[in-house]
Amino acid sequence: MDSIIVLDFGGQYTHLISRRIRDLNVFSEVLPAETSAEKIKSIQGLKGVIFSGGAASVYDEDSPKCEKQMLDIGVPILGICYGHQLITLLEEGKVASGDKGEYGITDMIISSGSSIMKGLSGQMNVWMNHRDIVQQLPDGYSTIASTKNSPIAVFENTGKDIYGVQFHPEVTHTENGMKILENFVYDICGARKHWTAGLFVDNAVKEAKETIGDKKAVIGLSGGVDSSVAAVLMSSAIGKNLTAVYVDTGLMRYKETEFIEKIFSKYDLDLRIVRAQDRFFSALKGVTDPEKKRKVIGKTFIDVFDDVAEEVGADYLVQGTIYSDRIESGHSKHSSTIKSHHNVGGLPEDMKMKVYEPLRNIYKDEVRKVAREIKLAEDIIKRHVFPGPGLGVRILGEVTPERAEITRIASHIVEDELHKAGLHEKVWMGFAVLLPVKSVGVQGDERSYKYPVVIRIIESEDAMTANFTKIPYDLLEKMSTRITNEIKAVNRVVYDVTNKPPATMEWE
């Protein structure tokens, strides 16, 4: 498959560049700046390389660099911002600290025709975010466009097929930014539109067949879209040699086990439902520390899962890990790791099975496209994200069966009312959290002393930041009334009005 590699020099938008190219139906992946030129050159289907932006100055001793040979691997190169300056440095031109920085929307004048600016001329607004500038072009390069503070805002070397732009074409504030990326990807690199959900499915099934052969594999089915898509793809590839294990931890969503049974019974896979609630609740007895809770849930999950894997005699462990899980776990060296997420509890150290991750190269919205391609139930595709440790991170203090049931029903009421109001798909998540304190109320003319429930409804683009949803009071009132009416142990409901940061979405 044709691909464009984005080398990561630590820019805030590195992954966005790769996203934009995928949106052009061309496969793109981010690799660390230090990846050797030889390795990049050997990538099958390589059509072009983009040097990303970055926060450092190219003259800083420890700023990220790539090998000079990267410019001679025989495919077109595009440098963006820091990448534009790095090409200058590698080619022995001159980069200098600008008099003033250029931040935000900037006026640029295109002074000369170039295939990178095909279809564009005259003035255009571009989005800048830099202080250093290219001061002197290397030999063989010419200037295509300028701004007030960046006399060399776009350059090209037609002989070597190397281009540089000081601005960020991947950011929507840049007028015709997509046109510039299209010029590079389609015209200059000649990449073909092979990155579609249909082709992904064909390739994934083929790769899975070749990798697993007639060996046995297990997958943990959580009911989330990632593991569900991975399971269905794998079942098309290896059929009954795939055992899907769904563990009912006692901390799952409302009527989840019945839901999973119904959805997956129609596929040709060996589905095992393990009802392990008692094991989880006894392991969680007396545990109140959030991190310890996560560890106990993770460890118990692995123990239960391992028993089934051993019984099946599986050689492979299939995981629904997606591209952003790898980024968040620090796969990209120059971007900072915000939070290391894990599905449930990490992998056992002495694991004998080999790990296979069919969705490792795709983003969440691409997983959803694949899900629709393979006609997975819409109920699964559209459902809210649910954390690996389940209700365990939504019950503060000790986790008991009683508290799990309160949280489960309260969360169900929140989601149900969001559905009825047509808001479920518009928000990232809506759920309930149970607090380990009690407050005084009055119910049926009697004093009550019961738990409060917190409603948390949030909006987010990428889970990294989030805002609480400004939900209509009427709807909150409906939820609150239902929660106190339908759950005996609750007499008070509060709404969480905190964004992320400073809070996280989950309470633990």
- Chain residues that interact with ligand XMP, rule: CB under 6 A: 339, 341-343, 385, 387-389, 429, 463, 500, 504-506
Rounded to whole angstroms, the Cα distance separating 291 from 388 reads: 13
- Comparison of 25 and 465: residue with beta carbon closer to ligand XMP: 465
Q: Is 384 a catalytic residue?
A: no
- Cβ neighbours for 375, distance < 8 A, ≥ 6 positions apart: none
- For residue 205, the minimal CB distance to ligand XMP (Å) is 25
- For residue 208, the minimal CB distance to ligand XMP (Å) is 23
- Comparison of 250 and 388: residue with beta carbon closer to ligand XMP: 388
Rounded to whole angstroms, the Cα distance separating 333 from 335 reads: 6
- Comparison of 70 and 229: residue with beta carbon closer to ligand XMP: 229
- For residue 380, the minimal CB distance to ligand XMP (Å) is 15
Are the C-beta atoms of residues 449 and 479 closer than 8 Å to each other?
Answer: no
Rounded to whole angstroms, the Cα distance separating 150 from 100 reads: 10
Rounded to whole angstroms, the Cα distance separating 359 from 376 reads: 15
- Cβ neighbours for 300, distance < 8 A, ≥ 6 positions apart: 249, 276, 279, 280, 283, 345
- For residue 341, the minimal CB distance to ligand XMP (Å) is 5
Q: Is 155 helix (H, G, I), strand (E, B) or coil?
A: strand
- Comparison of 166 and 319: residue with beta carbon closer to ligand XMP: 319
Out of 15, 84, 130, 168, the active site residue is 168
- Comparison of 132 and 415: residue with beta carbon closer to ligand XMP: 415
Rounded to whole angstroms, the Cα distance separating 93 from 260 reads: 61
- Comparison of 294 and 482: residue with beta carbon closer to ligand XMP: 294
- For residue 504, the minimal CB distance to ligand XMP (Å) is 3
DSSP 399-450: --HHHHHHHHHHHHHHHHHHHHTT-GGGSSEEEEEE-S--EEEEETTEEEEE
Are the C-beta atoms of residues 2 and 45 closer than 8 Å to each other?
Answer: yes
The residue whose Cβ lies closest to ligand XMP is: 388
- For residue 424, the minimal CB distance to ligand XMP (Å) is 15
- For residue 279, the minimal CB distance to ligand XMP (Å) is 19
Are the C-beta atoms of residues 484 and 490 closer than 8 Å to each other?
Answer: yes
Alpha-carbon separation of residue 203 from 151, 234, 370 (angstroms): 46, 12, 12
Helices of type H across 143-224 = 177-182, 197-212
Rounded to whole angstroms, the Cα distance separating 42 from 401 reads: 55
Please name the residue that has the structure tokens 């109920």.
Answer: 379
- Comparison of 186 and 254: residue with beta carbon closer to ligand XMP: 254
- Cβ neighbours for 427, distance < 8 A, ≥ 6 positions apart: 384, 418, 457, 458, 459, 469
Are the C-beta atoms of residues 312 and 218 closer than 8 Å to each other?
Answer: yes
Dihedrals phi, psi of 210, to nearest 5 degrees: -65, -40
Q: Is 168 a catalytic residue?
A: yes
- Comparison of 3 and 343: residue with beta carbon closer to ligand XMP: 343
- For residue 223, the minimal CB distance to ligand XMP (Å) is 12
- Comparison of 481 and 504: residue with beta carbon closer to ligand XMP: 504
- Cβ neighbours for 213, distance < 8 A, ≥ 6 positions apart: none
Are the C-beta atoms of residues 507 and 393 closer than 8 Å to each other?
Answer: yes
- For residue 76, the minimal CB distance to ligand XMP (Å) is 38
CA 382 to chain CA centroid, Å, is: 16
Out of 91, 102, 156, 170, the active site residue is 170
- Comparison of 220 and 389: residue with beta carbon closer to ligand XMP: 389
Structure tokens at 479: 């939820």
Out of 15, 66, 81, 102, the active site residue is 81
Please name the residue that has the structure tokens 């005996």.
Answer: 488
Q: Is 341 a catalytic residue?
A: no
Structure tokens at 287: 């545990």
Rounded to whole angstroms, the Cα distance separating 229 from 32 reads: 28
- For residue 297, the minimal CB distance to ligand XMP (Å) is 9
Nearest in space to 405 (alpha carbons), one of 361, 367, 362, 453: 453
Which residues participate in catalysis according to the annotation?
Answer: 81, 168, 170
